[in-house]
Structure 1
């Protein structure tokens, strides 16, 4: 016999035996048995409802806990993002101040070459031979001072 047929046959035979046993009881015993079965069913129903409430409460608590943790993580992430943003803004400000301090402007090659020429024109060079040689252009000759030279 396969499993389904055996289970069905056992259920039918057990049910028939229980019915015959119930019928053999007197009316008081039958009523007591009915009351016990109804009380057991009522208790089972109450327990099932209680367990359903417990499960619902546990699920709600778990949802609240997860929601709180997510809020904490979100707040932490927002704080960290704000700190990073502030640091980046500070860095931008520092860089702009540095740029203003250094007066960094993009210069072309021609401007750089002209700047080099301007620096050369500002320098004063004195050639010793030209400075102390006699000049005949009507000015007083430049004479190097001697120890016994008096004006």
Structure 2
């Protein structure tokens, strides 16, 4: 609190001294001092207005630069987003195509059930016997004089002494 009191007393004494000095000046010097003070205040006011315009221009330039950078960043993000979406779509369709191809491969890899003995056994003896038996059955239906044969190529008369097992 002591510093404030001392500062106040100093300002009061300085003001009183300046007023006393002003009162001792002649009229020409008083007018010149008033004119100089007015010029300085006008100059200060003009400088303050100029700085305000400079600051306003700087803020406007900053806003424009920021808007340009923001638009550039926005377009970059939009492009990256669309690229990512396109890659994700391509990946999904490739994965689905891969799944379809994989399913087709699995289906192709599965063994088919073959009912025809000729296809299943090819050149083996069973296939020939089976073929002979079918041919014989076809001939027997056409011609009743031929005896039917079993899978071993034997006729029923040859198997009469063997019991049949079902």
What TM-score, normalized to structure 2? 0.65
Q: Distance in 2 between matches of 1:26 and 1:130?
A: 146
Cα distance in 2 for partners of 1:2, 1:97 equals 89
1:119 to 113, 120, 129: 113
- Report the Cα distance in structure 2 between the residues aligned to 1:68 and 1:29, rounded to whole angstroms: 58
Note the C-alpha offset of 1:41: 0.9
Cα distance change of structure 1 residues 41 and 128 upon mapping to structure 2, 3 Å threshold: same
Unaligned runs of 5+ in 1: 108-114, 139-151
Deviations 1:107-148 (A, max 9, x none): 9xxxxxxx76x535465125437858973339xxxxxxxxxx
Q: Secondary structure at the match of 1:60?
A: helix
Q: Which residue is 1:77 aligned to?
A: 77
Q: Indicate the RMSD between aligned Cα atoms, in angstroms.
A: 3.0
Q: Distance in 2 between matches of 1:137 and 1:26?
A: 162
1:89 aligns with 89
Find the aligned partners of 2:36 and 2:73 in 1 and give their Cα distance: 55
Question: Which residue of structure 2 lines up, in the alignment, with residue 19 of structure 1?
Answer: 19
> Structure 2: which 5+ runs fail to align?
130-150, 157-166
TM value normalised by structure 1: 0.70
Q: In structure 2, do the counterparts of structure 1 residues 97 and 130 end up closer, same or farther at CA, with 3 Å as the change threshold?
A: closer
Aligned partner of 1:128 in structure 2 is 125
Cα deviation 1:67-88 (Å, max 9, x = unaligned): 2111111110000011111111
CA radius of gyration, larger in: 2
Give the Cα–Cα distance (whole angstroms) in 2 for the partners of residues 34 and 11 of structure 1: 21
- Give 1:96 deviation, angstroms: 3.0
The separation in 2 between residues aligned to 1:53 and 1:127, in whole angstroms, is: 106
